[in-house]
Chain A
Amino acid sequence: MQHIVVTVNGVELADGEVAAHTTTLDWLRARGLTGAKEGCAEGECGACSVLVAAPDDDGGTAWTAVNACLLPVAALDGQEVVTAEGLGTPDAPHPVQAALAADGASQCGYCTPGFACSMAAQFYRPGRADHAHHAPNGFDLHALSGNLCRCTGYRPIRDAAFALGQPDADDPIAARRASPPPAPRPTRVEHDGERFVRPADLTETLGLLRDEPDATVVAGSTDWGVEVNLRGRRTPLTVAIEHLPELREVHVDESAIEIGAALSLAEVQRRLGGRVPLLEALFPQFASPLIRNRATLGGNLGTASPIGDAAPALLALEARLRLASADGEREVDLAEYFTGYRQTVRRPDELIRSVRIPLPLADLAAFHKVAKRRYDDISSVAVGFAIDVGDDGTVVAARIGLGGVAATPIRARATEAALTGRPWDLDTVRDAASVMGGEGTPMSDHRASAEYRALMLNRALLKLYRSTAREEVRA
């Protein structure tokens, strides 16, 4: 058994009795740091938001807001965290706290520490001032889309965010950004028959999975946290992989873009810089920034949920997965990867190492998500489109990925066939849309009825066509 040591608000806190399932939120609160609150325990409300020192893309530190309720504290061994209490105090509030307190942005105050942390992450975002398209001070309001407030109605929180200036020259949290975050270190914790292990390298990881194939592999742990908190899942062995360098690379060559499976979606978005328009369309619609700061493509595909939003986009991109095991590596087409409800061809001893997206990309790419709420909701239906239209206006190739309409994410093969070789015009689209309305086997549940889901497939293609038609008119 080993101690974990986490630096919280500049103070090293050691703990030798951490259970593998203990979340950062419960651990902080048990230490009297009760600023972070439990509002939902599933990463939906952001009341538990804290800042973690994560690598930026230039060798420094990016202060990254995450949901403490989803993060096993053992995963923070050797890492640095700042909570609302560490940002400021009532006598010396942090600028975001002063802004929240000044003009009615808190009522009951229960969500406010979490908002403060999410706002602080934006406050410290490098180059914020250069993004004045968001707001005059560059604040991207989407940064707060994973924080819920039941009292204010959000207007005063928006105004507080837009009133923020830039960090002072002597701001220690800002200064911390110049040096790298703590290096990841191996961790081994055992308590009450549950183990949490962060192996030193990929070889050790693959060996561990070979020897103990019932291990639970976690990267961002955004799904793990929900299972642990809401469904009481307890596992004998949890293996953390998000710091493995081999799983954190982005390679681009002439034939493909390869994305490390353990990069957070936020990191993927930054590293791709808009190079894959379909993913660029996906990211803002994928949960919230608090989730995207931890969730990974590997995790989203590893859990194989039929309503995960990455799969429909990646299916349309004809992505392939690189699976690694102690025996070697293999590559599988994502379209062949899913075999049933939360079932895949991946063996228990295999890791998703990377996602390869073949080049060139299609001309026309879009991601349509239908949900009850625009920000941070789970899809009733999700559609990824990648369509090539030739110079003569004929559809050369169409690849459409669907989520939420079957036990697995699927390709809309019949619709693709109905489009291919025909002119990209309203008649074709109408015909293909009626085919698309019959794809999959949608169900009725608390999110949507089967009839609505089917019609949303139909309308998605029409909507895509209308949006392209409008662009042509504008051009």
Chain B
Amino acid sequence: MSELAARPAGAVVGQRMTHESAVQHATGVATYTDDLAARRAGVLTAWPVQSEHAHARIRLDVAPALEVPGVVHVLTADDVPGVNDAGTKHDEPLFPDEARYHGHALAWVLGESAEAARRGAAAVRVEYEPLPSIVTIGEAIEAGSFQGFAPTVQRGDAASALATAPHVFEGESVVGGQEHFYLETHASLAHVDSEGQVFLDSSSQHPSETQEIVAHVLGVPSHRVTVQVLRLGGGFGGKEMQPHGLAAVAALGAVRTGRPVRLRLTRTQDLTMTGKRHPYHATWRAGFDDDGRLLALEATLTADGGWCLDLSEPVLGRALCHVDNAYWIPDVAVHGRIAKTNKTSQTAFRGFGGPQGMFVIEDILGRVAPQLGLDAATIRERNLYRPGQTTPYGQEVRHAERLHEIWQRLRTESAFDERRAEIARFNAGSADVKRGLAMTPVKFGISFTFTAYNQAGALVHVYKDGSVLVNHGGTELGQGLHTKMLQVAATALGVPFAAVRLAPTRTDKVPNTSATAASSGADLNGGAVKHACDQIRDRLAEVAAAHLGGDAGDIRFADGVVVSSATERAMAFAELVETAYHERVQLFAAGFYRTEGLGWDPATMQGTPFKYFAYGAAAAEVEVDGFTGATRLRRVDIVHDVGDSLSPLVDLGQVEGAFMQGAGWLMLEELRWDETDGPGRGRLLTQSASTYKLPSFSELPDELNVHFLERAREDGAVYGSKAVGEPPFMLAFSVREAIRDAVAAFGPTGRSVELASPATPEATFWAIEGARAAGAPGTPADEPTSETTDAAASVTAGT
């Protein structure tokens, strides 16, 4: 076992701890960025002037706004002392001279109150000179409007394999975007402190990058800007790249006026201005043998990147690296590209392209199973990776046996086979309502594919009274990172959980931090916190050995007591600390962690981008109303690999919450844009909570059972744990496949069911109508559906 993964006796990691702020949350005293503004005097509010065109050259007249009572200033490009850019790709002007999407912030009004700023923004005159716009992926493909790189993941010779495969299918798969809908909209509060330093509170998942961008907009070095993150009211990736420009506006306002400036987006501003999960379009050809084994896959994935690049490239990279999901595909050629459209700039969202990549293969398997005459669960099981196999990008699928263990355990825990039979009986006796049941697996790669991000820092202080203060570079989004870090520190130092406190994340404590993203928060920051604590503990062990007898190696730290196993003598941790202080021993340490063993070549898309894979599988049962297409989740069983859990209650919350968020993406949440040529072209139509529906209590399954894979230590991560933030999101494919299964029961057997995504009641209803039109339940389907061709035909079509 690695030193990193080994757990001491009496470890606080692994204990079932509630979120460190839970009681503060429930009593309303937990403080978020915008709550701070209410407690500070003289704060100005910033309000955006948003474009009413999808694409237009603009000219601003801000004079009328300055006439509005309470308006203090209007921020425009003229105010920027540094670089007028809110991103890292130099394609994202903070104050644009061209509106690039409907809702684009063109200027910001600073007012004594939100009311004054809002009225001021309404008074700014904007002259638009409309330009042609591209609003859909289809339009972008037709116009050849792309941005960024266009990578390919390739292994073997997919074209030749498809030419000889016994069964070849081809088709298109389209999956919609998703709004993060963190309950806390983006917020920043900036002021200039007594030393002329800009201090920002920001709801940022990446405070170091927020700091860098604020610094370059202000034209000052990074050491003049400090970003603090108390906690976020949810992030999910939406606050990884998107907060920077907003923070820069607040900072610019504070510098320009000398007063604190708050910027908090309303829900509609957040929906219309900030990026979302990328919608994807894919075309594919897939070859199978007679037993349903995948032989080859050719696919082209097109992401809707929106108006600028943001994180679209790494998102696409991860999508291509997850087209295989958990399945061995011998010959693969998957191409990717990023459409440039006049929409919000799509960004990171839980799974970071992984879900969109996996969507393709799960859609393929779900569609072709009936045509191969096989049960979808059987096809999925047959294709699961086996030990020794590698991914299309050349990484060994370590612990592939866990996929099979999870699959078998899920089959048992969910009583899958018995319930299949039960559901068949139910469906035979029910014309109007049908049930469906499906199992899907997840394999998700853990590490930033941008290798440099796989590092983290921490700063741990032990005070003379034995109390411990931990700083680390990660941000608390609700995912329980701070809880886990407290457990890591308490374990490493052998003190009770309550002896450790976490300080708010600040860029002046730990510099050059990576985004809290890619599920990596606990792996990276945990490694750094442990490293810092280990240094202090090793120094203390020397002191303890001198006082208690034995060598430093004989000293054990647990629960606030320090014992020498050589002499059985003991002392309190606080007493040891006090002693060490008087002996002039350093009681604080900086910790650093970098993930070893990574190697990735983005040019060839080959290598070892991931430290390890997280595995899981889910079985979902749904009931679908044939009159309306409405779906109800009856029961969901999950078996998931969290390694040896650092914090089981936190991990359970991540698994359940991610699953439900995934279910929302696949069955409910629908972003609709005005795609007409009318005056509202490019406008987001679902721009409020009343039109963009996320899961509520009505989507909670009647029964939800989550099991963790046992004996699951991951040697490559802190205390043997695994990342958990994103992987369970993709367990929700089981819901979509269960809906497909239920829809199929309305029609003849052996018929492929195409289901739009999200599978809203209306989308499901149309799929049911299609199934019904094809023939009576129980009868064989008359003819194969259009995307199916036999090998000879498809080869002909391809030549």
Tell me whether A374 and B698 are in contact (CB under 8 A).
yes
Whether A106 lies near B183 (C-beta < 8 A) is: no
A173 within 8 A of B: no
Of residues 450 through 474 on chain A, the ones whose CB sits less than 8 Å from some CB of chain B are 452, 455-456, 459-460, 462-463, 466
List which A280-318 residues lie within 8 A (CB) of chain B: none
Is A156 located at the chain interface by the 8 A CB criterion? yes
Q: Does B785 contact A (CB under 8 A)?
A: no
Cβ of B145 within 8 Å of any chain A Cβ, yes or no, is no
- CB nearest to B625 among chain A residues: A463
- Between B25, B115, B628, B765, the greatest number of chain A beta carbons within 10 A of the residue's beta carbon is seen for B25
Evaluate contact between B27 and A93: CB separation under 8 angstroms. Answer: yes
Is B690 located at the chain interface by the 8 A CB criterion?
yes
User: Per DSSP, are chain B's interface residues mostly helix, strand or loop, or mixed?
Assistant: loop
Q: Nearest CB to that of A113 among chain B residues?
A: B28
Instruction: Decide: A116 and B28 in contact? CB cutoff 8 A.
Output: yes
A108 lies within 8 A of B688 (CB): no
Among B25, B660, B689, B700, point to the contact of A100 (Cβ < 8 A). Answer: B25
Let me know if A101 and B672 touch, CB within 8 A: no
Q: Looking across the interface, which residue of chain A has its beta carbon closest to that of B232?
A: A108
Contacts of B685 in A (CB 8 A): 445-446
A108 and B182 contact, CB distance less than 8 A? yes
* Interchain CB contact under 8 A, A101 and B22: yes
Interface centre among A90, A142, A456 (most CB of B within 10 A): A90
Which residue from chain B places its CB closest to the CB of A287 in the assembled complex?
B690
Residues of chain B in range 10-29 having any CB-CB distance to chain A below 8 Å: 18-19, 21-29
CB contact under 8 A between A34 and B38, given known A100-B26, A373-B696, A463-B627: yes
Give the complex CA separation of A29 and B232 in angstroms: 18
A110 touches which one: B184, B632, B657 (CB < 8 A)?
Answer: B184
Least CB distance, B415 to chain A, in whole angstroms: 20
Interface stretch (choices A36-44, A121-129, A211-219, A329-337): A36-44
Contact B432–A466 (Cβ < 8 Å): yes
Q: Taking the nearest CB of chain B, how far is it from the CB of A110, in angstroms?
A: 3
Contact with A along B681-697 (1 / 0, CB 8 A): 00001101111011111
B652 close to chain A: CB less than 8 A: yes
B653 near A104 (CB under 8 angstroms)? yes
* Residues in chain B near residue A456, CB distance under 8 A: 628
Bound CA–CA A51/B641 (angstroms): 42
For the complex, is B586 an interface residue (Cβ under 8 Å from A)? Answer: no
A230 within 8 A of B: yes
Most chain A CB within 10 A, of B22, B478, B697, is at B697
Query: Cβ of A232 and Cβ of B700 under 8 Å apart?
Result: no
- Asked if A106 and B697 make an inter-chain contact with CB atoms under 8 angstroms apart, the answer reads no
- Give the distance in Å from the alpha carbon of A104 to the alpha carbon of B656 in the complex: 11
A112 touches B26 (CB 8 A): yes
Contact B233 A109 (CB under 8 A): yes
Q: A372-B760, A459-B627 are in contact. Are A446 and B691 (CB under 8 A)?
A: yes
For B24, list chain A residues within 8 Å (CB).
Answer: 90, 109
**CB within 8 Å for A45 and B183 given contacts A141-B697, A150-B694, A154-B700:** yes
A residues near B661, Cβ cutoff 8 Å: 150, 153
Cβ of B266 < 8 Å from any Cβ of A? yes
In the complex, the answer to whether A151 meets B234 with C-beta atoms within 8 Å is yes
Per-residue A-contact encoding for B122-153, CB less than 8 Å = 1, 0 else: 10000000000000000000000000000000
CB of B27 within 8 A of CB of A110, answer no
- Inter-subunit contact B27/A108 (CB<8 Å): no
Contacts of A148 in B (CB 8 A): 183, 689, 694, 696
Q: Which of A23-49 contact B (CB under 8 A)?
A: 26, 29-42, 44-45, 47
Neighbour of B39 across the interface among A32, A39, A109, CB < 8 A = A32
Query: 4 closest A-B pairs (Cβ-Cβ)?
Result: A35-B28, A108-B478, A109-B25, A110-B233
Known interface pairs A37-B32, A108-B231, A374-B696; 4 further A-B residue pairs with C-beta atoms within 8 A, sorted by A's residue number: A34-B32, A40-B267, A150-B182, A372-B762
28 examples of A-B residue contacts, CB within 8 angstroms: A19-B115, A31-B38, A34-B28, A37-B233, A39-B184, A42-B689, A83-B28, A90-B29, A98-B26, A102-B18, A106-B22, A108-B25, A110-B32, A110-B478, A111-B233, A112-B26, A151-B478, A151-B653, A155-B700, A156-B656, A230-B268, A372-B761, A373-B693, A373-B698, A374-B696, A378-B690, A378-B691, A446-B691
